[in-house]
Structure 1
C-alpha cells in the first residue's frame, strides 16, 4: 500500500521526481529560516501531493467505510501509507499540514460544515495579527510540536475543482430549465451528481455534504437547507431561500423516483415468476406452478396500482410546473406593467404628446412658409425662361432625328439594291459561260435533256430582259 502510494505521487506529481525525494522525506523544518525558498518549495510540493492522493481516492480512509475525495484523514495510518523502505517516513509532514491549515488550504471538517460565513472571509483580529507576527519571526513554530496534527481536514483545492465542474455543467444546461427541474432532494441530488464532477469517481456522502455546503455558502450556486437542494438561476425571480413549495417539489420528485424504481423491480419479479411457472409446468409440478402464478398475479396487481399512483403524481407534477410558470408569468407581467407606467410617466400623458405634436406642426408650417418666400424671391431676381424658344428647339431636334432616320433607311435600301444588281450580274456571267460551253446545236435535233436546257436558258434570258428593262429605260 505505502509503496504504491509513493509510486502514484512519483508518476503524477512533477515535484515528486526521484532526485527530490530525499529532500521531501527529510526534516526540512530547519530550512524555514536558513533557506526560505527551499522550505516553501517542499511545503508546496507536499500540499499538492496530499491533494492529489486524496482526489485519487487512494488516501487512507481512517475510520470511514470508503475513501473520501475531499477530506484528508490525518493520522498514523497516513504516515504508514506514505512510508518508503528507502526514505522512511516524511519527517516534516506535520509542518506541511500546519502550514496548509494556516493558509486555509486545509480546513477542519467540522469547522467547514458548521461555518456560517464564507470560508474565504478572513477577518483580522488581534489574535490573528499576533499569530501572523510570531509566525513571521519563527516563534510560533517553536511552540508547536513536530508530530502530525490528527483529524479530518477538507482539501479546499479539490472542493474548488468539483465546484468549477458543477458550474460548467450547470452553465451548459438549457436556460429554460423550470423550477421543478432545478429542485432536488438531497438523496436525489446525490444520485444525479455523485459521479459527474470528479473524473467519473463516486463521491462519498461526506464529500457530497462538503460540496453542498461549499456551493451554497461560498459560491451561491445552489440553495440548500440540509434536505432540499435548488440550483439557482440568474434569470428566475425566486426567493433567496428554500421555500415550502421547493420542499414539496423535492419530496414529490423523490417519491416519483421511488415508485418508478419499484415498478422496475415489480416488472423483473413478474418476469421471474412467469419463468418459474413455466419451469414448474415443464416438470409437472402443479403446486409450484400455481404458487408462482398466484405470486405473479399479486405482483401484477401491485404493479398496476403503482402505475396508477405514478400517473397521478406525474399529473400533480405537471400542475405544479404550470403553476410555477404562471407565477413567473405574473411576476413578469407585473414588472412589465411597472415599466410601462414609468415610461408613460416620462412621456407625460396624451395631453403632453398633443402639445408636443402641435408645436412640431407649427414649426414645420413656419419652415414651409419660409421656403415659399425664398422661392418667390429667387423667381423675382432670376432669369425668365421663354417656353416658346424651348418648344422650337425641341421641334428642331425632333426634325433632325427624323432626317437622320430617313437617311439611315435610304442607305440600307441602296445597299440592298447594289447587292441585288451584283447577284444579277453574277447570274448573267454564269449563263454566258454556259452558252459558250454548249456550242452548236446538234443536227439530229434536240434530245429531252437538250430541250430542258434550252427551256432553262430561255427562261433565264427572259428574266434578265425583264429585270434589265427599267434600267435601260432610265438610261
Structure 2
C-alpha cells in the first residue's frame, strides 16, 4: 500500500470512489468531490514524505500512474484532474512553469509565498499531461509548495549554521553538484530535481544565494551562499577552482576504487591458476591506474593550494578594507577635537577643581565651630601656662636657697618606701626636675633676673630677698652637681651642706 497507509481517508470502503471518475460529484455532491481531492493531495504528500519517488519535494508525473495503480481498481481515472485542481488551488506548482516564472514576493498572514501569484495566464492554460501522446512532449513534474517551503527553510538554516563559523571565501561558493552534495549531507533523500527546485527557490524567490553563469561554459552555474548579489569575477574564479578540485576528487575516488578492484582480481586469478598473459594485462592496467591516481592526486593538491591562496588574498583585501575604513573613521573623530580646546578644557577643569577645594575648606572651617568654647579653652591654656611658669620659678628659687628643699628631702627620705608605692615614680620625676634645675651655676644668677619674678609673689618677697643676699656670698663649684644620689634613699641629697646654714 505504500503511502496509502498514512492516509486515513484511503479506507477499503472508499477506494472505489477514489479510483473512479468522480467528476460528476462536483455538481451533485461538492463535499464528496472536495473530500476525494483532499484525499489524493494527502496521498501525494505522504508519498513525498516516504520518499516513494526518491524525492522529497517534487512529484514525478511520469511515475504517478504506476505508483498509484491498484490491483483491484487499476489506475486512478481522475489522477490528472486531481493534479489540475490542486495546481489551481496553489498546493502544487508545475516545475516547467516554476523554473521560468517567479513567484511574486507577497506574503499573506495565513499563507507562505503563494504560488497563485505565478502568472495567471500561464496557469490558466496549463493542463496536466500524464501520458505522452507525442514523442516530443515530456511529462512534467509537480512541486508540493508547502513541502518546498518547510524543507527549504530548514535546510537553509542548517547550512547557515554549518558555514557561519568558516571565514573562507571558498566555503560559501558552490557549483550545482557541490551544492547538491552539501544539501544531501543534511537531507539524504533529495533527488536531483529537488536540488534544482531549491536553487530556484533560494536564488529567485527568497534571495538567499547569488548565482552566476560560467563565462566559458554557459551550462555551468556557480552560486554564493547567503547573498543574492551577482558573483564577482574573483568569486567566479574561486568557484571554478573549487568545482575543478571537486571533480578531480571524484575522479581520485573512482580511480582508487578501480585500483583496489584490479588488485583483488589479480589475486583471485592467480589463485585460480589463470595464465600469465591475463595476469600481466591486469597488472599493466593496475600500474596505469596507479600513475593516473598519482597524477590526479598531484592535480588535486595543486588546485587546493590555489584555492587557499585565493582565500588568503580575499582575507588580505578584507583586512586592508577594514584598515582603510578604520583610518577614515579615526580621522573623522580626530577632526572633532582640537588641541587648543583640550588645553582650554584642562585649564578650566583645574580652576574649577581648585575652587571646589577652597569652597570645601570654607565649609569645613565655618561649620560646627563654637567660639565661646574656643575662648574658654584658650583662657584655661593661659592659666595652665602661668601656673607652670610659677612652679618652675619657685622650684628654681628654692633650689638656689637650699633650705626648704633640704628639709623636704630629709622628710621624704625618712618615709618608708612601701608607704607610698603609687607616688614613688611621680616623686622621682619631681626631684629629677629639681636636680636638673640645680645644675645651673649659682654665681651666674643675678638679682636683676630673679627679682622681677620674686616681686610678683607678695607673700614670699622678704624670704626670697634674704636668700638672694646669702647666695651672693656663697661660692659653689659649677663643675659639680648640687645634689648627689643617696644610696640608702631614693631622694637625692645636697652635696654642699653650706647652703643649709
Q: Is the 8 A contact 1:106 1:153 kept in 2?
A: yes
| Residue 327 of structure 2 is aligned to residue 337 of structure 1 | yes
Q: Say if 1:277 and 1:217 are closer, same or farther in 2 by CA, change over 3 A.
A: same
Q: Say if 1:123 and 1:320 are closer, same or farther in 2 by CA, change over 3 A.
A: closer
Name 2:446's counterpart in structure 1: none
Q: CA deviation at 1:304?
A: 3.3
Name 2:246's counterpart in structure 1: 257
The correspondence for 1:13, drawn from 7, 26, 33, is 7
TM-score using structure 2 length: 0.57
Name 1:171's counterpart in structure 2: 160
Gaps of 5+ in 2: 107-112, 132-138, 214-219, 382-501
Q: Say if 1:352 and 1:40 are closer, same or farther in 2 by CA, change over 3 A.
A: farther
Q: Is the 8 A contact 1:179 1:321 kept in 2?
A: yes
Name 1:106's counterpart in structure 2: 92
Name 1:157's counterpart in structure 2: 146
| Residue 311 of structure 2 is aligned to residue 321 of structure 1 | yes
Q: Is the 8 A contact 2:93 2:115 kept in 1?
A: no
Moved more, 328-337 or 18-27: 18-27
Q: Is the 8 A contact 2:163 2:172 kept in 1?
A: no
Q: CA deviation at 1:319?
A: 0.7
Name 1:218's counterpart in structure 2: 205
1:319-468 paired onto structure 2 within 5 Å: 319-345=309-335, 347-378=336-367, 384=373
1:37-186 paired onto structure 2 within 5 Å: 42-58=36-52, 68-74=55-61, 78=64, 81-82=67-68, 84=70, 96-116=82-102, 118=104, 151-177=140-166, 178-186=168-176
Q: Say if 1:12 and 1:355 are closer, same or farther in 2 by CA, change over 3 A.
A: farther
Q: Say if 1:52 and 1:297 are closer, same or farther in 2 by CA, change over 3 A.
A: closer
Name 1:309's counterpart in structure 2: 299
Aligned mates of 2:28, 2:346 — CA distance in 1: 85
Q: Say if 1:123 and 1:89 are closer, same or farther in 2 by CA, change over 3 A.
A: closer
Q: Is the 8 A contact 2:9 2:39 kept in 1?
A: yes
Q: Which has the higher helix share?
A: 1
The correspondence for 1:232, drawn from 225, 230, 244, is 225
Q: Is the 8 A contact 2:89 2:116 kept in 1?
A: no
Q: CA deviation at 1:322?
A: 0.8
Q: Say if 1:349 and 1:240 are closer, same or farther in 2 by CA, change over 3 A.
A: farther
Q: CA deviation at 1:114?
A: 1.0
Aligned mates of 2:268, 2:32 — CA distance in 1: 76
Q: Say if 1:245 and 1:357 are closer, same or farther in 2 by CA, change over 3 A.
A: same
Q: Deviations 1:173-200 (Å, cap 9, x if unpaired)?
A: 1522222122112122223334632xx3
Q: Is the 8 A contact 2:99 2:200 kept in 1?
A: yes
Q: Say if 1:356 and 1:74 are closer, same or farther in 2 by CA, change over 3 A.
A: same
Aligned mates of 2:284, 2:20 — CA distance in 1: 73
TM-score using structure 1 length: 0.59
Aligned mates of 1:266, 1:144 — CA distance in 2: 47
Look up the SS of the partner of 1:173 in the other structure. helix
Question: Which has the larger Rg?
Answer: 2
Q: CA deviation at 1:113?
A: 0.5
Q: CA deviation at 1:303?
A: 3.4
Aligned mates of 1:358, 1:33 — CA distance in 2: 95
Q: Is the 8 A contact 1:185 1:229 kept in 2?
A: yes
Look up the SS of the partner of 2:351 in the other structure. helix
Gaps of 5+ in 1: 1-6, 60-66, 131-139, 390-475
Q: Deviations 1:396-417 (Å, cap 9, x if unpaired)?
A: xxxxxxxxxxxxxxxxxxxxxx
Q: Is the 8 A contact 1:28 1:92 kept in 2?
A: yes
Higher relative CO (Cα under 8 Å, sequence separation at least 6) belongs to 1
Q: Deviations 1:251-280 (Å, cap 9, x if unpaired)?
A: 222322333343444445555666638966
Q: CA deviation at 1:384?
A: 4.6
Q: Is the 8 A contact 1:228 1:247 kept in 2?
A: no
Aligned mates of 1:228, 1:147 — CA distance in 2: 30
Q: CA deviation at 1:332?
A: 2.9
Name 2:388's counterpart in structure 1: none
Moved more, 211-220 or 80-89: 80-89
Name 2:191's counterpart in structure 1: 203
Q: Is the 8 A contact 1:107 1:155 kept in 2?
A: yes
Aligned mates of 1:310, 1:288 — CA distance in 2: 33
Q: Say if 1:40 and 1:288 are closer, same or farther in 2 by CA, change over 3 A.
A: closer
